[in-house]
Structure 1
Amino acid sequence: MIDWQIVPFEQLTLNQLYDVMKLRQDIFVVEQNCPYHDLDNLDQQCEHLMAFEDDQLIAYTRLIPKGIVHQDYSAIGRVIISQKARGRKLGYELMERSIAALRAQYPTVAIKIGAQQHLENYYAKVGFRTISDMYLEDDIPHIDMLLDDQPAE
């Protein structure tokens, strides 16, 4: 059984914080071979959606309020499914829960993401549409995407 939790930064336990940072490093730094500054001073202003199975963090997103990264949009970032949990379609539930959490707080605010370009079809399946050309972020091709029928910038 999966235990889903949404926790503001200041309420994360030390173990939860450690699990989040470890999973983010395991995937974004080690697996993707991309040294980058993960600790970007945004975590403290965000809520953290976590999925635990057998007390292990298997999925995660960072929920970013409107005005923190984008003036007019909220955002979802650091989308991760652990290696052991891949192939179970868990990513769709992770994104649906992330979208629902942001919609509950900001019902009329569009949600913007900076997606790795190779995941464009995955994000399109949960309602995002591409609104930018490809750009490099940390030497990885990215695109900006906006949720559903919200107007582009």
Structure 2
Amino acid sequence: MNITAVPFAALDARTAYDVWRLRQAVFVVEQACPYPDLDGRDVEPGTRHVLLRDSGDALLGYARVLDDASTWRIGRVVLTPEARGRGLADLVMGTALQVCPDRDVVLDAQVPLAGWYAGFGFVADGAEFLEDGIPHVPMRLTRE
């Protein structure tokens, strides 16, 4: 396994394609949520792309870290179906948190995953809401 966190400028064309294909396969197709995944934030200078690859360089997992000035925002946390259930999401999330120094970290968790995020220190930070028909809860990790 190899895990890195890189800016958009460090993504080669194949890696960018693999990231977008994985996000589309899971969030748009598997979860049946047509939404504008390519929202312009991938290319922002402060954005970091967390890439989990196997020894053959196939993309297994991904997360996006956004620099929102006063907080960091983690999103698009995803694993391929074949990578699920092996604890690999912990590696992706741990790496995402490593690139979030000195400020609070926020995310919108799908409600069934809120307990998993709580294991990293996140707490609910607002009312549950629906996004694309899926219940979510805003969560925050407070950094002191």
Shorter-chain-normalised TM-score: which range? over 0.9
Q: Which residue of 2 aligns with 1:23?
A: 22
Mark the CA change 1:138 to 1:28 in structure 2 (over 3 Å): closer, same or farther: same
Q: Share of identical aligned residues, percent?
A: 37
Task: Please show how residues 71-90 of structure 1 align to structure 2 within 5 Å.
Answer: 72-90=70-88
Cα distance in 2, alignment partners of residues 5 and 31 from structure 1: 26
Cα distance in 2, alignment partners of residues 126 and 114 from structure 1: 14
Q: Which residue of 2 aligns with 1:146?
A: 140
Cα distance in 2, alignment partners of residues 138 and 32 from structure 1: 9
TM-superposed CA distance for 1:145, in Å, is 0.2
Task: Please show how residues 54-65 of structure 1 align to structure 2 within 5 Å.
Answer: 54-65=56-67
Q: Which residue of 2 aligns with 1:34?
A: 33
Structure showing greater relative contact order (alpha-carbon pairs closer than 8 Å, 6 or more residues apart): 2
TM-superposed CA distance for 1:58, in Å, is 0.4
Residue 43 of structure 1 aligns to a residue in which SS?
coil
Greater than 3 Å deviation, 4+ residue runs? none
Give the residue type in structure 2 aligned to 1:42.
R
Of 109, 119, 122, which residue of structure 1 is paired with 2:116?
122
Name the TM-score, length of structure 1 as normaliser. 0.88
Listed as ranges, the gaps of 5+ residues in structure 2 are none
Q: Which residue of 2 aligns with 1:132?
A: 126
Matched, 1:50 2:51: yes
Q: Which residue of 1 aligns with 2:68?
A: 66
Residue 5 of structure 2 aligns to a residue in which SS?
strand
Listed as ranges, the gaps of 5+ residues in structure 1 are none
Name the TM-score, length of structure 2 as normaliser. 0.93
More helix by percentage: 1
Residue 23 of structure 1 aligns to a residue in which SS?
helix
Q: Which residue of 2 aligns with 1:11?
A: 10
Give the residue type in structure 1 aligned to 2:40.
N
8 Å contact from structure 2 (residues 48, 66) kept in 1? yes
For these two proteins, the number of residue pairs brought into alignment is 141
8 Å contact from structure 2 (residues 5, 96) kept in 1? no
Cα distance in 1, alignment partners of residues 107 and 119 from structure 2: 14
What is the RMSD computed on CA atoms of the aligned residues?
Answer: 1.2
